[in-house]
Structure 1
Amino acid sequence: LPAFINGYDNPALKAPEQRQQSALTMAEEDDARIRILQSLRGKICEAKNLGPVSGPNRQRDLCTFCTISLDQEEVFRTKGFDKSVSPFYGEDFYFEIPRPFQCLSFYVYAKSVFQRELAVGKVSIRKDDLCKYSGKEHWFSLQPVDPNSEVQGKVHLEMRLNEVITENGSVGQHLLVRIIECQELPLISGQNCDPYATVSLVGPARSDQKKTKVKKKTSNPHFEETFFFEVTRSSSYSKKSHFQVEEEDIEKLEIKVDLWNNENLAQDVFLGETRVPVKILRSDHIHKAWYLLQPKGNGSKSKSDDLGSLRLKLTYIEDTVLPSACYTPLCNLLLKSPDVKPISASAAHILGDIYRERYEAVLPVVRLLLHHNRFVPFVSAVAALELDNTQEANTIFRGNSLATRCIDDMMKIVGKNYLAVTLKPVIDEICESNKTCEIDPIKLKEGDNVEVNKENLQGYVHKVFSSITQSSSSCPTLMCDVFRSLRQLACKRFPVDPHVQYSAVSSFVFLRFFAVAVLSPHSFQLRSHHPDPEISRTLTLISKTIQTLGSWGSLSKKLVRLTVPQSCVYTYREVQKRTQGRKRLGKKNFKKRWLRVTSRELSYHKHKGKEALCTINVKNIQAVEKLDESAFNRKNMFQVVHSEKPLYVQAGNCVEASEWLEVLGQVSRCNEGRLATFHPSNFTSGAWQCCKNQSNNAPGCKPCTATMLANLQLDIDCDRETERIFSLLSSNDTKLQDMEDACASMAVYQGPQREQEEYSKFTIQEPKETFQTLKQLRNVMEELQMQHNIRNDTTAQYGSLDNPIVGKTS
């Protein structure tokens, strides 16, 4: 670290040529690996004026709900809302996107009296357009759900112009179209499709069509078929000595490729199309590229006002994460922050200062400092700075300052299990018992009894408050360390106030942690869905009461260190489990089971809440890995390798499969008997299908996914967090420059301190120290940007598999 810091004072290291040479060397490392990591966070707020659905049902009598799909794969579903054409969903969502995708879609469905799901409309947003709506709420008009518009996938085509000389010496021009393969075609009824393609040469007065063979049970068919089309009429060779397609022909002709699913007993299902103009061959007689499949434009779209609208808030993030060595300088500069004097001159504080209005901007810094055990000294220094500017003890830590934002994020990360153990049982009781607690006379319904409601409210508050006050033994050590530091700092700042040491802690524990979790349990994963309006009102009353009680600092006087926490349920979902050890004919190989993961065991059940059919201690889990689709011809499968036979499981979708792998990997990452290798396929017919080894006990043929020995709550990808910080700093270069200018102005000006606008925007205690940090930040950002530029030069070109062409539509 000292050598790194001193390096910026060495002019030789600042030479662009040397930095570029260093960057090239790092780019050529054998272990260089670039990761594209995607995540989506947002909220399905509400729908308005939903239009009619097909059938005799009245819209206002139907239950409606909303789903989220990546391409055609559903990954999220809200709960249903009865009898409303303008339902308020209020559903927050967040998930990592584990695969490439083309389109993000939100569907609104209505459920008929016979429980049939009827599509009302949809909102589809191309991946490339997601950045337009990031971070803010927008109203989207619902569009009709038409079978011809439900497409996904891409097709690989090759086209070339050939010159053909006939027997009589005349010349003709032929267009060769080779359809090579398709990828990521949609599932049909949850299964791989039976695709085929039609290839047509279309012009004003012609439409020649050819057809490929049907490929069975695959979403990635390899066709490798070639078709020939005559482009222009034959002419004598002497008259046309050089091949050239006539302008009027080439401008009007195009190749149309349609993909279909073969249905033996019904009408074939449209999977997508693309159109390629033949004039693309004018400059290059050979064209080979990947194309995105497009919907069929049939001109039958309804008016958007007919179907209603949907209010959404979306934040899509795509991080290009480079090899770890690229982030070392920036990471070191950030980790040095707790030692910088004053703390306002540190890199981490500068990031929080220029992003005061964006609450989520400090999260990557918090995660990075937590991982490297540097959070407590940093937040203590930041809290001390805030306390120096606090004049009244009763307003301590009440604003959205950098200190409060950092501690809020820390509690959400570190206290997740603690929160679930403490509050989930009583929150479940409140949501499921559905007792009325309304005490406002204006909001009382006919027949409500205020005294009974008051008793219900008091009973709930007592249970919640008791759960909190009795949970000190389960409070995570890191949270206790932070609260102890806050307590000491508060006593030092206000030595004559005997209660400030408690209010400093309770302002976080009650007001910013427990009370917020009670108010929005779905945001803290305590409930799977947003509560209905009546339950939400009850939780609001309880939360307000907890806030009031928590503001009395004398009620919270005892914090002790962490003891062994109770067992906590992390995931409980329905899956398809591979039957083990069954050889009798007529039995299904896969059965629906409820898979349950706690901090202590993995179990599966025939019915939710019933006795476990099998229980596996998490300490016996040796590996959790993906399973090749070819093993059982099923997608989204993973395996749990333990001391007995492997457990093969199929998740509901790709997001669920990724979450299962993450949770199971987290709870078992510290196990002593973890394997170094695994078999990505199954053992059948006397051999492993992946490596063909005939020994059932043979070591795996593929390395296991690398794991990091850490606490469950602190599984942090430091490279990704540093890349996020780099993106935030890069996108706000103007403010960094303004801060540099303010530092320079303050350092040069020798007169009395003035309140200038450029000073008030930032916290600058020592201009020279702050300017030096800003200078170091710019240097490391330039080097990191150079690394990105070098790798962007090798980015897939337009028309490649990773960057397909968006072709024309009908």
Structure 2
Amino acid sequence: MPMMSFKSDGIRVEETVRVKICELRNLPARSSGSPKSRSAYCALNLDQEQIYTTAVVKNNLNPYFGAETQFEVPRQFRFLNVYVYDKNDPAPNGTVNGALGKVAIAKKDLQKFGGKDQWFPIIPIDADSEVKGKIHLEVAWTNKSLTVRIKKCDGLTLVNRNCDSFAQVTVENPGSSTSSSRLGATKSFKTKTWRKTVNPEFNETFHFDDEQVDYSTAEIKVSVWHESSGGLWGNVFLGEIRIPVQTLDGSRKNDLWYFLNPRDSLREKFSDQGSIRLNIRYNAESIISPRYYEPLRKLILSLPDDDSLVTASAAFILGEICEDKMEVAKPIVRIFLKYGQLLPLIRALGHLEMNTITDVSTLFRGNTLLSKCVDETMRLGGKFYLESFMKDHIDRIFLEQKYCEIDPVRLADGGDLNLNMLNLVSYIEPILTSITSSALSCPSLMSEILSELKQSAKSKYPERREIHYSVVAGFILLRFVAPAILNPELFDLRKEGGRTETVTRTLTLVSKAVQSVGNCLSNESNKVLIKESYMEPIMTKFCSEPYLQSMKVFLDTVSSTNVIHSSFPVKLKEGILTKRAQGRSRFGWKNFKRRYFCLTTQELRYSRSAKSNPLGRIPVSEIQSTQFLTEGSSFDLKNMFQVILSSRQLYIQARHSVEAKEWKDALDFVASRNHLQRERNMFHPDAFIGGHWRCCKGSDQGNPGCREVPSFQVPVDIDVNREVEKVQSLLLKNMEKLSRLHDHCHNDYLSLHKELPQHIQDLTASRYHTLTSMQACVTSLEQEHRHHVKQMYQRNVYGSEHAPIGEDTVNYAPTYQYIMALVGSADRPSPSTPPEITRC
């Protein structure tokens, strides 16, 4: 089925998962062969779908990865799995595809970890434990009879890219005379085999009417199998469920969905396979109808005409009550950017900080709302700019693994300080050159903000050029480039992992060097205090006049709005995809080929490899839309989507659902910004195969389509309702602080005297009215949230298709808190204990 955000009863749930695979400890040594140590790597899966792999760490039983990935969840899932593999042991006995073991974390448990490091035991696996999917049953019973109707299964596991499944139902009774098993089996029935589908529809009914059996004490076991008559090991287990009959209502037919589980005998299986340290952060925003967000959105965007009253704005007050300013900056920047109001906000906050600063050396250096908003803007708008001049250098450091330690205290025995110094300089010098050469590629958004902040400094300190440079260098060098060098994973400069202690130390030293250059420019004498004596040779070389002069030109250029910045195409997405061309030639081949794709702001091109000449170029102006193809109906392949062009379709397959969503989002992004008139308003949601369109059965291959191309009302990069929902969640978390601030401001408002300066009167009144409006907006929006969640709770009955009966027991009733957690509202109070919100 098409991949989309989870929707239920008017609630749209957008989920994000960030996982850092830190390290493994105490892996078991290889029992045979050489070497005894492992060459391990890890894979991250949504259920059984692999979406990310780390680099291989060779010959180590305690490997460190430091690999991090973040993605939008494209579909519903049950478990987040981390598999551990040994590259030198591709198929050891008792494992699947070389896996030493795994960690399986249920989706409902992901919120518990909150971005903190956690150690997990690695659990051994085999084919019987790799289970996914669900089954739909209808059961009716009396003490003397039992009827089981197996309706269908959904999302079964593929076995060698195929699934020929059948189900087997057995009723077991503890009163049976059979003593060889825990429960004595009575009859057993088997369905017909459904071939080449993971969603079989059995619709077969089986009757049990043994007069010697008391069915009220019996247990129903339904197991699902892949038929493999020619295989070495026979049929392959796909999952089972066990249902105590007494948990079912005997007065009616029980129509229920169940999650399939591993074999009951395997649930306690455990052996020491080592442990893994993970850092997991899971976020889910439950988004209701856009009209409910309108009052809060307008309030957030409301800025006073007088910049001196910015402390009375909702954005400033939100930053005032929240400890983590970055949590505030992320949604605020996106909301203001979407409506073209970001620059006025930055200007007002800049003037405020400029007028309240007491130590000029700390100007714009603190963790204020302003600094975090600029940080977030640079990360949001400068991501591809940073990648354009920095990624190759980062990859080189990871690849070469040169020793660059120049601290004599840290130097290993036999280390060569002079050689290490040369290695370090060989990294720093080209990086500084790339930075200073990139000025014309700096995005105009960043330049406008840096220019605004520099002008604020000029207006107060017109003669102190070091302060002007300090402002610009403080943001673009000290808060953007240097942190990206230190932690490239956080800036999407490195996704493959492979970080070692050597790489970490090299990145640290290079980052220090860049910071030193920035700090030199912030000093009137162009000198910087040397805190570590071993860094003195580096500072002496790179803080010399030639390097500083080049950096000054760079800073002047990136902070000038008068410079025409280059319009070189920005790379938005690249990677290997599988392509199927259609419609080029009536008699042409229509094969699937693996191709390297690159999407820029100007074109989509593909070639045999990243370094070979393009085989095709498609201007972004021709991209109309992208659509997922119905799974199973087109080419019998998963993760297929089509790019709808002005004159044809391009069919593409991604490796997994996350990659497919990322590519679709990127293509939709450029399509939404295509200002040319759409000439093609129709598309085919399926493929032209066997002389006809699979969707409408039309035989004309040139037919423009049978469905309308949907319009994109908002750019896919900024979902305003989602960002306003994040603000609502922050306000709810800090409701007590907001109430206290409101009460304090209310008292000040009531005690205003006419003899006070007019500015003080205006500021107090404005803050009070803003706080009152914020409380009213939070109250109203939360009431709508609860109403929608309550409806979902009432309609999504436990045991229905959207809420199958869970992993361990059928004696489970979902609570309101569980449903709230399911839609990403775990921090919301329960209905019985509403938040204490003062109405004003």
Instruction: Provide closer, same or farther for how the CA distance between residues 422 and 591 of structure 1 changes in structure 2, counting only shifts above 3 A.
Output: closer
How far residue 371 of structure 1 moved from its aligned partner, in angstroms, is 0.7
Which residue of structure 1 lines up, in the alignment, with residue 86 of structure 2?
A: 110
How far residue 467 of structure 1 moved from its aligned partner, in angstroms, is 2.1
Contact 2:603 2:617 (8 Å CA) reproduced: yes
TM-score w.r.t. length of structure 1 = 0.85
Deviates more, 1:417-426 or 1:94-103: 417-426
Give 2:447's match in structure 1, choosing from 470, 480, 491.
480
Give 2:207's match in structure 1, choosing from 206, 228, 240.
228
How far residue 491 of structure 1 moved from its aligned partner, in angstroms, is 3.1
How far residue 452 of structure 1 moved from its aligned partner, in angstroms, is 4.0
Which residue of structure 2 lines up, in the alignment, with residue 217 of structure 1?
A: 196
Q: Which amino acid aligns with 2:223?
A: D
Matched, 1:46 2:23: yes
Aligned-pair identity (%): 37
Matched, 1:308 2:274: yes
Contact 2:69 2:495 (8 Å CA) reproduced: no
Deviations 1:341-388 (A, max 9, x none): 632232222222222236334311211111111111112222333333
Q: Which whole-Å CA distance do the structure 2 matches of 1:788 and 1:549 have between them?
A: 51
Matched, 1:653 2:656: yes
How far residue 615 of structure 1 moved from its aligned partner, in angstroms, is 3.1
Contact 1:297 1:809 (8 Å CA) reproduced: no
Give 2:172's match in structure 1, choosing from 187, 202, 218.
202
Contact 1:51 1:59 (8 Å CA) reproduced: no
Contact 1:53 1:118 (8 Å CA) reproduced: no
Instruction: Provide closer, same or farther for how the CA distance between residues 57 and 182 of structure 1 changes in structure 2, counting only shifts above 3 A.
Output: farther
Q: Which whole-Å CA distance do the structure 2 matches of 1:551 and 1:482 have between them?
A: 20
Give 1:687's match in structure 2, choosing from 687, 692, 695.
692
How far residue 283 of structure 1 moved from its aligned partner, in angstroms, is 5.8
Contact 2:80 2:106 (8 Å CA) reproduced: yes
SS of residue in 1 equivalent to 2:624: strand
SS of residue in 2 equivalent to 1:307: coil
**Runs of 4+ residues over 6 Å off in structure 1:** 113-116, 581-588, 748-751
Q: How many residues align?
A: 739
SS of residue in 2 equivalent to 1:722: helix
Q: 1:5-20 maps to which residues of 2 (within 5 A)? A: none
Deviations 1:625-657 (A, max 9, x none): 212220111110011233454221111010111
Q: Which whole-Å CA distance do the structure 1 matches of 2:266 and 2:390 have between them?
A: 53
SS of residue in 2 equivalent to 1:609: coil
Q: Which whole-Å CA distance do the structure 1 matches of 2:460 and 2:125 have between them?
A: 62
Deviations 1:470-514 (A, max 9, x none): 322222222122112211222344456332122111100100111
Which residue of structure 2 lines up, in the alignment, with residue 533 of structure 1?
A: 501
Instruction: Provide closer, same or farther for how the CA distance between residues 563 and 683 of structure 1 changes in structure 2, counting only shifts above 3 A.
Output: same
Which residue of structure 2 lines up, in the alignment, with residue 156 of structure 1?
A: 136
Which residue of structure 1 lines up, in the alignment, with residue 529 of structure 2?
A: none
Instruction: Provide closer, same or farther for how the CA distance between residues 96 and 59 of structure 1 changes in structure 2, counting only shifts above 3 A.
Output: farther
Matched, 1:294 2:271: no
Deviations 1:197-236 (A, max 9, x none): 11121211242221111111111111111111126559xx
Runs of 5+ unmatched residues, structure 2:
1-7, 177-183, 523-551, 754-760, 811-840
Q: Which amino acid aligns with 1:724?
A: K
Q: Which amino acid aligns with 1:325?
A: R
Give 2:724's match in structure 1, choosing from 722, 725, 731.
722
Contact 1:184 1:220 (8 Å CA) reproduced: yes
Instruction: Provide closer, same or farther for how the CA distance between residues 231 and 346 of structure 1 changes in structure 2, counting only shifts above 3 A.
Output: farther
Which residue of structure 1 lines up, in the alignment, with residue 488 of structure 2?
A: 521
Which residue of structure 1 lines up, in the alignment, with residue 556 of structure 2?
A: 557
Deviations 1:642-683 (A, max 9, x none): 345422111101011111111222234333254433111111
Q: Which whole-Å CA distance do the structure 1 matches of 2:405 and 2:127 have between them?
A: 47
How far residue 423 of structure 1 moved from its aligned partner, in angstroms, is 2.2
Deviates more, 1:596-605 or 1:360-369: 596-605
Deviates more, 1:400-409 or 1:277-286: 277-286
Instruction: Provide closer, same or farther for how the CA distance between residues 431 and 90 of structure 1 changes in structure 2, counting only shifts above 3 A.
Output: closer
SS of residue in 2 equivalent to 1:800: coil
Deviates more, 1:467-476 or 1:561-570: 561-570
Q: Which whole-Å CA distance do the structure 2 matches of 1:352 and 1:575 have between them?
A: 43
Contact 2:686 2:693 (8 Å CA) reproduced: yes
How far residue 77 of structure 1 moved from its aligned partner, in angstroms, is 0.9
Which residue of structure 2 lines up, in the alignment, with residue 168 of structure 1?
A: none
Instruction: Provide closer, same or farther for how the CA distance between residues 677 and 395 of structure 1 changes in structure 2, counting only shifts above 3 A.
Output: same
How far residue 797 of structure 1 moved from its aligned partner, in angstroms, is 1.8
Q: Which whole-Å CA distance do the structure 1 matches of 2:346 and 2:300 have between them?
A: 13
Q: Which whole-Å CA distance do the structure 1 matches of 2:203 and 2:414 have between them?
A: 73
SS of residue in 2 equivalent to 1:274: strand
Deviates more, 1:409-418 or 1:468-477: 468-477
Q: Which amino acid aligns with 1:101?
A: F
Which residue of structure 2 lines up, in the alignment, with residue 257 of structure 1?
A: 222
Deviations 1:510-550 (A, max 9, x none): 00111112222232222332344333322221111111101
How far residue 435 of structure 1 moved from its aligned partner, in angstroms, is 4.5
Q: Which whole-Å CA distance do the structure 2 matches of 1:737 and 1:689 have between them?
A: 59
How far residue 48 of structure 1 moved from its aligned partner, in angstroms, is 1.7
Instruction: Provide closer, same or farther for how the CA distance between residues 670 and 631 of structure 1 changes in structure 2, counting only shifts above 3 A.
Output: same
Q: Which whole-Å CA distance do the structure 1 matches of 2:510 and 2:692 have between them?
A: 60
Q: Which whole-Å CA distance do the structure 2 matches of 1:776 and 1:106 have between them?
A: 46
SS of residue in 2 equivalent to 1:156: strand
Q: 1:64-79 maps to which residues of 2 (within 5 A)? A: 64-79=40-55
Deviates more, 1:384-393 or 1:540-549: 384-393
Which residue of structure 2 lines up, in the alignment, with residue 237 of structure 1?
A: none
TM-score w.r.t. length of structure 2 = 0.82
Deviates more, 1:684-693 or 1:382-391: 382-391
Q: Which whole-Å CA distance do the structure 1 matches of 2:285 and 2:730 have between them?
A: 11
Deviations 1:235-285 (A, max 9, x none): xxxxxxxxxxx7xx51x2121111111112222222111222212344642
Q: Which whole-Å CA distance do the structure 2 matches of 1:73 and 1:410 have between them?
A: 34
SS of residue in 2 equivalent to 1:380: helix
Deviations 1:370-428 (A, max 9, x none): 11111111122223333333211111122212111111111000111221223234434
Instruction: Provide closer, same or farther for how the CA distance between residues 806 and 572 of structure 1 changes in structure 2, counting only shifts above 3 A.
Output: same
Q: Which whole-Å CA distance do the structure 1 matches of 2:588 and 2:312 have between them?
A: 72
Which residue of structure 1 lines up, in the alignment, with residue 799 of structure 2?
A: 799
Deviates more, 1:637-646 or 1:35-44: 637-646
Give 1:634's match in structure 2, choosing from 633, 637, 641.
637
Instruction: Provide closer, same or farther for how the CA distance between residues 500 and 64 of structure 1 changes in structure 2, counting only shifts above 3 A.
Output: same
Contact 1:53 1:120 (8 Å CA) reproduced: no
Contact 1:622 1:673 (8 Å CA) reproduced: no
How far residue 111 of structure 1 moved from its aligned partner, in angstroms, is 1.3
How far residue 728 of structure 1 moved from its aligned partner, in angstroms, is 2.2
Contact 1:133 1:315 (8 Å CA) reproduced: yes
Which residue of structure 1 lines up, in the alignment, with residue 3 of structure 2?
A: none
Q: Which whole-Å CA distance do the structure 2 matches of 1:223 and 1:323 have between them?
A: 38
SS of residue in 2 equivalent to 1:298: helix
Deviations 1:98-149 (A, max 9, x none): 1111111111111116798632221111111111112322111211123222
Matched, 1:373 2:340: yes
SS of residue in 1 equivalent to 2:153: strand
Which residue of structure 2 lines up, in the alignment, with residue 677 of structure 1?
A: 682
Deviates more, 1:442-451 or 1:478-487: 442-451
Deviates more, 1:695-704 or 1:309-318: 695-704
Q: Which whole-Å CA distance do the structure 1 matches of 2:196 and 2:428 have between them?
A: 57
Contact 2:163 2:197 (8 Å CA) reproduced: yes
How far residue 36 of structure 1 moved from its aligned partner, in angstroms, is 1.9
Q: Which whole-Å CA distance do the structure 2 matches of 1:508 and 1:41 have between them?
A: 26
Instruction: Provide closer, same or farther for how the CA distance between residues 201 and 676 of structure 1 changes in structure 2, counting only shifts above 3 A.
Output: same
Instruction: Provide closer, same or farther for how the CA distance between residues 254 and 733 of structure 1 changes in structure 2, counting only shifts above 3 A.
Output: farther
How far residue 183 of structure 1 moved from its aligned partner, in angstroms, is 1.1
Q: Which whole-Å CA distance do the structure 2 matches of 1:685 and 1:696 have between them?
A: 11
Contact 2:225 2:235 (8 Å CA) reproduced: yes
Instruction: Provide closer, same or farther for how the CA distance between residues 79 and 71 of structure 1 changes in structure 2, counting only shifts above 3 A.
Output: same
